[in-house]
Amino acid sequence: MTPPVAPDQAALGLSDMLAEKPLCGGCGAKVGPGVLNAGLCQLPLPSRADVISGPGDDAAVLEIGGLRQVLTTDHLRAVTDDPAAMVRIAILHAMGDIWSMGAEPQAALLSLILSRQSEPLQARVMEEILTTAQAVLQAEGAALVGGHTTMGSEMTIGVTLTGLCGQKVITQDGGKAGDRLILTRPLGSGIILAAEMQGAARGRDVAALLDVMQAPQGRAAAILRGAATAMTDVTGFGFAGHLGAMAKGAGLSALIYLENLPIFAGVQDLVRAGHGSALAKSNRAAAPVAGLAEGDWRSAVLHDPQTAGGLLAAIPAQKAQEILAALAKEGIEAWEVGEFEAGPEGGMAVRA
């Protein structure tokens, strides 16, 4: 893909941005973690008694009639021109926030930006999106209750979701020293999607990735929440970014089992060829990992933004093998990828 040429009059810094990698789709299009955290730090704590938590976790926690409800919102630039596949990915991506909080999906609103097109095409695309969305939500016990539509330069799908979890909420910051870290999905989706934008990814690798991204994780979440002390979903800030947030919240360090990390097929070759997401640089700056050998290609994977990524759960050491066995019995792949330990708050290192 040839980078666009900056106009004669443009915002400060635009030329530098256009000289870098093209803007990615999916979670690779997020605002960087440093910029986002600087903005969130200026927000006051919630003043309402029924708003239990503010920004920072995967979803907000509300208390309504003695029940705990979680609330999240997300939107994705399209990573595929297939509207049905894209809405399926967007909904399951947003559901990751609900599942990681230990909740069951409840209700959804869709916010759709369709590329500009004739009214007959609009109607066909809308029917395809809504039919697929309804099926995906119903399969997970949730309802589609409304939304909003506009037209723009490209397809973007947003999802706002609520979930119910009774009184027990699983947050990012409950991990304990010695807990094992279990991950339910391979890494490297951002690298493949970035390469696919430039026609450099193998078709079979892209197809395999899209299949994984469209697979629900409700059964995995149900197994994990029975033992998890903390949980998150690995998305835009990469494995290291989300793990670092868990470790910081718990006042611990994290040891990463580098050799155990699951990685999508084709990623190693793409990294060595120089492919990667536009967001990876910001992710790396925000979540450094110690102990990596100079030039280790897996550094790129640790900071790669994921779309519809896996669940990452902290499980007490004595229960980890039991949980892995329960996942395997259901045909769900999962990997033990690290552990929490006493050490500098939020620190991360790879196991030698």
Statement to judge: residues 278 and 339 lie in one domain? yes
Determine contact, residues 156/77, Cβ cutoff 8 Å: yes
Task: State how far the Cα of 194 lies from the Cα of 173, in Å rounded to an integer.
Answer: 31
What is the pLDDT at residue 199?
Answer: 93
> In terms of domains, do 101 and 248 share one?
no
- Domain, as residue range, for 295: 180-350
Q: What is the CATH number of the domain that holds 77?
A: 3.30.1330.10
Say whether both 270 and 140 belong to one domain: no
Is the CB of residue 105 less than 8 Å from the CB of residue 137? yes
| Global pTM value | 0.91
Q: Are residues 234 and 109 in the same domain?
A: no
Within this chain, do residues 155 and 214 fall inside the same structural domain, yes or no? no
Query: 311 in helix, strand or coil?
Result: strand
Q: List the strands of the sheet with 230-233, edge to edge.
A: 230-233, 311-315, 180-183, 335-341, 253-256, 348-350
Tokens 């450094």: give the residue. Answer: 288
Q: What is the pLDDT of residue 58?
A: 84
In a domain, 7, yes or no: no
Look at the chain and report how many structural domains it folds into.
2
The pLDDT assigned to 4 comes to: 47
pLDDT of residue 186: 98
Residues 254-288: tens digit of each pLDDT = 999 999 999 999 999 999 999 999 889 999 999 99
94-125 core/surface letters (b: 16 or more CB in 10 A; e: else): bbbbbbbbbbbbbbbebbbbbeeeeeeeeeeb
Q: Would residue 248 count as lying in a domain? A: yes
- Give the span between the Cα atoms of 276 and 116, in whole angstroms: 29
Same domain, 226 and 333: yes
In a domain, 172, yes or no: no
Is the residue at 216 inside a domain?
yes
135, 164, 193 - which closes a domain: 164
Residue 213 sits in the same domain as residue 71: no
Answer yes or no: is 34 within a domain: no
Q: Does 40 fall in a domain?
A: no
pLDDT of residue 166: 76
Q: How far apart are CA 348 and CA 260, in angstroms?
A: 16
Give yes or no: residues 79 and 115 share one domain: yes
**Based on the domain organization, do 84 and 190 belong to the same domain?**
no
Catalytic residue from among 24, 27, 41, 165: 27
The verdict on residue 16 lying in a domain is no
Domain boundary among 164, 192, 217: 164
The rounded distance, in Å, linking the Cα atoms of 16 and 111 is 31
- Known catalytic residue at 27: yes
Q: Considering the domain boundaries, does residue 141 fall inside one?
A: yes
- Ranges of residues in the chain with a pLDDT under 70 are 1-8, 10, 13-38, 40, 352
